[in-house]
Amino acid sequence: MPFTANRQFKAEPRLIASAEGIHYTTVDGRKVIDGSAGLWCVNAGHGRREIADAVSRQLMALDYAPSFQIGHPIAFDFAEKLAAIAPAGLDRVFFTNSGSESVDTALKIALAYHRAAGQSTRTRLIGRERGYHGVGFGGMSVGGMVNNRRAFATHLPGVDHISHTHDLARNAFSRGLPAHGAELADDVERLVALHGSETIAAVIVEPVAGSTGVLLPPQGYLQRLRALCDKHGILLIFDEVITGFGRLGAPFAANYFGVTPDLITSAKGITNGTIPLGAVFASRKIHDALMVGPTSQIELFHGYTYSAHPVACAAGLATLEIYRKENLLTRGAELADYWQDAMHSLRGSPNVIDIRAIGLVAGIELSSRPDAAGSRAYDVMVDCFNRGLVIRVTGDTIAMSPPLIIERSQIDEIVTILGDALKRVA
Ligand SMILES: Cc1ncc(COP(=O)(O)O)c(C=O)c1O
């Protein structure tokens, strides 16, 4: 099983049989709240009939067609609708099948762009400590979570990392964005001084780091990162695999923070988690730079058998329609204060050393047990599951990201179950 303690799980499995709205039903018939929207992806809630119908229709109309040298209209239709909600200027779309593939695609596009623009010395890729960019060799290499890296000695060469922004001493229990740490963006200058800007292709960051424990960017940090990338001719990639499609209360984090990167990676919420699909959004500048040479020539030697899979596109189109009708891409903004208050009400619960919340996502960090990092949060997760709530844990941080259709009363339920679990596990 992926990212699972296999032997522990098999000794004591947690199995889901069905799902509807914000609830799962376990194989033994218990209803549990999905406090993490699957893996941050089921933004419109489970069991959406419109998506199921669109998928089933598409399977009979066109179940598959390649996207190499042939196309199908639904892919272009979906790309256009995505471009319409993407941050201004990022209206070129490349389809993948997952977040990891989106990341590797964006990194490759960045390299290809510089080469096409006559800057082929720009090959270095910069990630950030504590970043998560999926599990491909590219994403793993620019990622910064030690357990995802240490067993796999072979990383991409020419990768470096800026420092992370997590600073409990200065920012614990911040409401809104942390006040301290914008200057950490200046770490880009350190790497420019070390390697030379003419060797650096791109900097990739999650605007809000998710899998490493919901780390919010310090006030002004992303703006500073953008300015430094501009100054040095470096492309800025936002990995929005989690933050894309409404998680922060805006369509993308780029909208929320008012900072436009050169490339955005996405997946997850793009199809409400129903059918695997990812998309990379690129600026016209990047796209157009690649559209050179003889027109008979393939411009980007990259793609997947299932790029723009028609069934996934159908699921995506139906998902976008639900998001539009139910205003889900901005609903998080309406609930953000309520959510933030609810999460911060857990301050003072045993072992809670920080709470971070933004949009409809939150991280609740617990102190680790001596010599047993992660075990406390794991116990909280099991306790919650047994009492009606699915949460996601990473290390000793509890990461919450409910479906965007959640109601206030359901947020209260989450807080009650979680608060009780924190007391019991203490
Ligand atoms: C920011 C980020 N990038 C990339 C990925 C990888 O996505 P996938 O698991 O679909 O490959 C994830 C998954 O959680 C993610 O959070």
Distance separating alpha carbons of residues 374 and 111, to the nearest angstrom: 37
Element (H, E) at 52: helix 49-61
Atom of ligand 1 minimally distant from the CA of 240 = 1
pLDDT of residue 58: 98
> 6-47+327-425 in CATH: which number?
3.90.1150.10
Q: Which residue has the tokens 């009606």?
A: 388
C-alpha of residue 127 to centroid of ligand 1, in Å: 14
pLDDT digits (tens, 9 = 90+) for 139-168: 999 999 999 999 998 899 999 999 999 999
Helix (H, G, I), strand (E, B) or coil at 364: strand
3-state DSSP assignment of residue 157: coil
Q: What is the 3-state secondary structure (H, E, C) of 185-237?
A: HHHHHHHHHHHCHHHEEEEEECCCECCCCCECCCCCHHHHHHHHHHHHCCEEE
Distance CA 22, CA 51 (A): 16
Q: Does the predicted TM-score (pTM) go above 0.85?
A: yes
Strand order through the sheet with 235-239: 92-96, 278-282, 263-266, 235-239, 200-205, 124-128, 159-162
Q: What are phi and psi of 25, to 5 degrees?
A: -120, 130
Q: Give the residue carrying structure tokens 């933030």.
A: 340
Q: Which residue has the tokens 């990739």?
A: 204
Q: Is 346 exposed, middle or buried (0-12, 13-18, 19+ CB in 10 A)?
A: middle
pLDDT, one tens digit per residue, over 27-40 is 999 999 999 999 99
Tokens encoding 297: 């020539």
* Percent of the chain clearing pLDDT 90 (strictly above): 99
What residue type is 177 in one-letter code?
L
| Per-residue model confidence (pLDDT) at position 120 | 96
**CA dist list (Å): 276 to 45, 100, 130, 279, 310:** 16, 11, 25, 11, 11
Dihedral of the alpha carbons of 139, 84, 89, 296, in degrees to the nearest 10: 80
Of the candidates 116, 22, 21, which has an alpha carbon nearest to the alpha carbon of residue 389? 22
Nearest atom in ligand 1 to the alpha carbon of residue 99 is 7
Residue 271 CA to residue 21 CA, distance in Å, equals 15
Q: Which of 100, 142, 392 to mutate to test the pocket of ligand 1 (most atoms within 8 A of CB)?
A: 100
Q: What is the mean pLDDT of the chain?
A: 97
- For residue 106, the model assigns a pLDDT of 99
One-letter amino acid of 208: V
Rounded to the nearest angstrom, the distance between the alpha carbon of 130 and the centre of ligand 1 is 13
Do strands 31-34 and 392-394 pair parallel, antiparallel, or not at all (unpaired)? unpaired
Question: Ligand 1 pocket, 100 CB below 6 A?
Answer: yes
Tell me if 134 CB under 6 Å of ligand 1: yes
Residue type, 243: T
Q: Are 63 and 275 in contact (CB under 8 A)?
A: no
Residues 6+ apart with CB under 8 A from 92: 83, 281, 282, 283, 284, 286, 287
Stretch 38-51: mean pLDDT: 98
Identify the bridge partners of residue 363 per DSSP, sorted by sequence position: 356, 399
Cβ neighbours for 294, distance < 8 A, ≥ 6 positions apart: none
List of residues 6+ apart from 270 with CB closer than 8 A? 82, 244, 245, 277, 278, 279, 316, 319
The pLDDT, as a whole number, for residue 154 is 85
- Boundaries of every domain in the chain: 6-47+327-425, 51-325
Residue pLDDT, tens place only, 252-309: 999 999 999 999 999 999 999 999 999 999 999 999 999 999 999 999 999 999 999 9
Nearest protein Cα to ligand 1, atom 7: 99
What φ, ψ does residue 145 adopt, rounded to 5°?
-110, 115
Query: Would you state the CATH architecture of domain 51-325?
Result: 3-Layer(aba) Sandwich (3.40)
With beta carbons less than 8 A apart as the criterion, state whether 292 and 116 touch: yes
Distance (Å, whole) CA 141 – CA 161? 9
Q: Phi first, then psi: give them for residue 307, nearest 5 degrees.
A: -55, 130
pLDDT digits (tens, 9 = 90+) for 316-373: 999 999 999 999 999 999 999 999 999 999 999 999 999 999 999 999 999 999 999 9
CA distance 327 to 160: 39
- Calpha distance 101→303 (Å, rounded): 10
Cβ 267 under 6 angstroms from ligand 1: yes
Which atom of ligand 1 sits closest to the CA of residue 206? 1
Find the 22 Cα to ligand 1 centroid distance in Å.
21
Q: What is the pLDDT of residue 426?
A: 85
61-95: pLDDT as tens digits:
999 999 999 999 999 999 999 999 999 999 999 99
Residue in this structure with the two tokens 């047994």, named with its chain if needed: 386
What are the pLDDT digits (tens) for 180-219?
A: 999 999 999 999 999 999 999 999 999 999 999 999 999 9
pLDDT exceeds cutoff 90 at 116: yes
Contacts of residue 251, Cβ cutoff 8 Å, sequence gap at least 6: 85, 86, 87, 244, 245, 329, 330
Calculate ∠ Cα 4-163-225, nearest 5°: 115
Q: Which of 43, 140, 206, 211 to mutate to test the pocket of ligand 1 (most atoms within 8 A of CB)?
A: 211
Instruction: Determine the distance separating the centroid of ligand 1 and the alpha carbon of 210, expressed in angstroms.
Output: 9
Q: Which amino acid is at 3?
A: F
Q: How far does Cα 358 stand from its chain's mean position?
A: 14
Q: How far apart are CA 124 and CA 287, in angstroms?
A: 20
The model's pLDDT over 354-364, given as tens digits with 9 standing for 90+, comes to 999 999 999 99
